[in-house]
Structure 1
């Protein structure tokens, strides 16, 4: 007999909470640190990796 109330391939509420807490503890500080180091920049309202500027290239954006 199959239980129609069970949604397959969906983590439990407790597992979802644990994943969100882990993400908030690890990913957000990493993103903020990368912003401080200049590895990530805001471009057109989106977070993107900073492009490397070489001596022979025309810079498209400033990298601090």
Structure 2
């Protein structure tokens, strides 16, 4: 809200930041639920694989255009 009246406000940057915040929230919720039967190394591996699957398609699209 503080940067809404700024001259160089960018909606794409704002939307990307909000999506990032939501993603980190879901990641921490999933980590806490998944920690019941796994050690921290396995949880980190699964989260890294899931993050790769989510980030790869947008990265390919951005690279093409």
Normalized against structure 1, the TM-score is what? 0.39
Higher helix share: 2
